[in-house]
Copies of this chain bind each other. A is one copy, B any other.
Amino acid sequence: MLVQKYKDMLSGKSVIRELSEFATARGQEIGYENVFDYSLGNPSVPVPKEFTDAMVQMLSEMGTNALHGYSPSLGITSVREAVAASLERRFGLPYRKEHIFMAVGAAGALAHAFRLVTEPGDEILTFAPYFPEYGPYVNLTGAVLKVVPPDTETFQIHFEKFEEMLTEKVMAVLINTPNNPSGVVYSAETLQRLADILRRKSQEYGHTIYLISDEPYREIVFEGVDAPCVSAFYDNSIMCYSFSKSLSIPGERIGYVAVNPNCKDAETMVNMCGQISRGIGHNCPPSIIQLAVAKVLDKTADLGVYETNMQLLYQELTELGFTCVKPGGTFYIFPKALEEDAKEFCRKALKYDLVLVPGDTFGAPGYFRMAYCIDTEKVKRSLAALRRFVKENYA
């Protein structure tokens, strides 16, 4: 018999996917350049030339068995060393290869992190607004994801609600900064307060509460914004990284787990990741992609376009009267809708070929997300549609 829980999931429709499909269909009618598709967080800037060059060079010059051979289950040693050295250089923590586990994208990294520290029935807390895939990512392990309601003033952490929900059953707290969907970067003050609470509660409950930090947007931080390193605030932290956004290679599924070098069991945890892999069919990311990212660790795609887009949208939205926290990074913005039901708001916007995603999906009803990883030219053209939409419906 087929397993019912997966069968049941098939009837659940992804709002984002439906909107994206609408955008594609509408594009076939009126030309995709005329659809202001803000639905998908798919990087739009080209991959850095150095990545492509590294791939071609290896394909041309390396022996094929060395290039395409098995990676050790924790990742290729030289790659783990290079990642550790880069992290140490940038963040000042004493990372060594023993702290690094190469993973197939952030999803792969998170799948290992959750299994390291939770048994079925344990709780993981995260903060709204949040990436909706965290639900199945956590719940399908047997652990339970609980979502702390948002502080809609700042989209930092709602600490009162957090402390209420931080019971003895919570084994890990999951954060995502810079944040999808709000674009907000957690401040040093937020991270310090979070860490203090986790230390106090770990002691009170007699077990470590781990901090799992999902950081795919780490390299997309706007001018003048301070984006502190999460791991510097809390020893028992697990960094989950993906190169998808920084190098514009989301399809290549490459990232890593970096356990905090100051975490007591760091090396054991990395070795445990290799065991977890055996149970979930992970078995290390593709060799050639590991080797290629190791050659461009300190490069990024030209990410400046995202800031340009953000400025254009933020200015227009605030001028139109939207309540909106200014993003500090990512390629998302998360304004308050102009009516209570954000789904209805987004439905109306479709008539203007504006594809917006209601915040309900992200645990923040009444808000909506725009993913502005699209051409600046299109962002500019969308502003008139946005104005018309607001004027004709909410003036």
Taking CB atoms and an 8 Å cut-off, the chain A residues in 226-272 that contact chain B are: 248-254, 265, 268-269, 271-272
Does A284 count as interface, using CB distance less than 8 angstroms? yes
A2-B269, A280-B140, A284-B253 are contacts. A59–B65 as well, Cβ < 8 Å? Answer: no
Contact with B along A323-360 (1 / 0, CB 8 A): 00000000000000000000000000000000000000
The number of chain A residues touching the other chain, given as a range, is 35 or more
Are the C-beta atoms of B52 and A64 separated by less than 8 Å? Answer: yes
Other than A107-B283, A136-B279, give 17 A-B pairs with Cβ distance below 8 A: A2-B272, A3-B118, A10-B272, A42-B70, A47-B64, A55-B55, A68-B251, A105-B281, A110-B281, A111-B281, A137-B281, A140-B280, A141-B279, A253-B284, A280-B281, A285-B286, A286-B286
A206 nearest in chain B by CB position:
B1
A54 nearest in chain B by CB position:
B59
Taking CB atoms and an 8 Å cut-off, the chain A residues in 1-49 that contact chain B are: 1-3, 6-7, 9-10, 42-44, 46-47
Taking CB atoms and an 8 Å cut-off, the chain A residues in 49-74 that contact chain B are: 52, 55-56, 59-60, 63-65, 67-71
Q: Which of B3, B59, B118, B287 contacts A116 (CB 8 A)?
A: B3
Q: Which of B10, B68, B248 contacts A68 (CB 8 A)?
A: B248
Are the C-beta atoms of A137 and B253 separated by less than 8 Å? Answer: no
Does A313 count as interface, using CB distance less than 8 angstroms? no
CA distance A111 to B140 in the complex (A): 14
Are the C-beta atoms of A287 and B252 separated by less than 8 Å? Answer: yes
Taking CB atoms and an 8 Å cut-off, the chain A residues in 281-311 that contact chain B are: 281-289
Question: Which of chain B's residues have a CB closer than 8 A to the CB of A77?
Answer: none
Does A376 count as interface, using CB distance less than 8 angstroms? no
CA distance A115 to B6 in the complex (A): 9
Question: Which of chain B's residues have a CB closer than 8 A to the CB of A110?
Answer: 281
Does A104 count as interface, using CB distance less than 8 angstroms? yes
CA distance A254 to B286 in the complex (A): 8
Output the least CB separation between A11 and chain B (Å).
11
Output the least CB separation between A207 and chain B (Å).
5
CA distance A104 to B338 in the complex (A): 44
Are the C-beta atoms of B107 and A140 separated by less than 8 Å? Answer: no
Q: Which of B2, B108, B133, B276 contacts A117 (CB 8 A)?
A: B2
Interface centre among A10, A116, A268, A281 (most CB of B within 10 A): A281
CA distance A265 to B59 in the complex (A): 41
Question: Which of chain B's residues have a CB closer than 8 A to the CB of A271?
Answer: 10
Question: Which of chain B's residues have a CB closer than 8 A to the CB of A168?
Answer: none
Question: Which of chain B's residues have a CB closer than 8 A to the CB of A250?
Answer: 68-70
Are the C-beta atoms of B68 and A252 separated by less than 8 Å? Answer: yes
Does A275 count as interface, using CB distance less than 8 angstroms? yes
Output the least CB separation between A212 and chain B (Å).
13
A209 nearest in chain B by CB position:
B1
CA distance A18 to B48 in the complex (A): 41
Question: Which of chain B's residues have a CB closer than 8 A to the CB of A285?
Answer: 253, 286
Does A175 count as interface, using CB distance less than 8 angstroms? no
A47-B64, A68-B250, A108-B281 are contacts. A268–B140 as well, Cβ < 8 Å? Answer: no
Are the C-beta atoms of B107 and A282 separated by less than 8 Å? Answer: yes
Interface centre among A42, A118, A140, A251 (most CB of B within 10 A): A251
CA distance A272 to B71 in the complex (A): 29
Does A103 count as interface, using CB distance less than 8 angstroms? yes
Does A380 count as interface, using CB distance less than 8 angstroms? no
Are the C-beta atoms of A2 and B268 separated by less than 8 Å? Answer: yes
A301 nearest in chain B by CB position:
B64
Does A157 count as interface, using CB distance less than 8 angstroms? no
Contact with B along A203-216 (1 / 0, CB 8 A): 00001100000000
A68-B248, A115-B6, A286-B286 are contacts. A137–B1 as well, Cβ < 8 Å? Answer: no
